[in-house]
Amino acid sequence: MNDVMMENRIKETTENYHLTAREKEILFYWVKDFDHRQIALLLGISRNTVKVHIAKINLKLQVNSKASLILKVLNV
C-alpha cells in the first residue's frame, strides 16, 4: 500500500474514531512500523508520551495489539 492510500485510510480512521491531530500523526508512523523512539524523535516528544497516545488510540479503536490496529486501519 502506498503512502497516499495509507494516509486516506488514516484520515478516515481519524474522522470515524475522533482521533486528535497528534494521535493521527502517531498513528501514521506507527502503521509505517516506526518504533516509540523514532516517533518521539520525529515529533519532539518523549517515548512515554508516544506510548500514552498509542494506548489512547487502541482504546478508541477498541483493539489490543499493533497487528489488530493495523488491520482495522487498513481495513484488511
Task: Give the C-alpha separation, 40 to 71, whole Å.
Answer: 23
Mean residue pLDDT across the chain: 94
Which contacts qualify for 51-54: CB closer than 8 Å, 24 or more apart? 53/22, 53/23, 53/26, 54/26, 54/30
- Residue 44, domain extent: 3-74
CATH number at residue 32: 1.10.10.10
The pair phi, psi for residue 44, each rounded to 5°, is 70, 35
pLDDT at 59: 97
Tally of structural domains, the chain: 1
In degrees, rounded to 5, the angle at the alpha carbon of residue 23 between the alpha carbons of residues 17 and 72 is: 50
pTM of model > 0.85 = yes
pLDDT at 74: 87
Residue 18: is its pLDDT beyond 90?
yes
- 71's grid cell: 488491520
pLDDT tens-digit readout, 32-50? 999 999 999 999 999 999 9
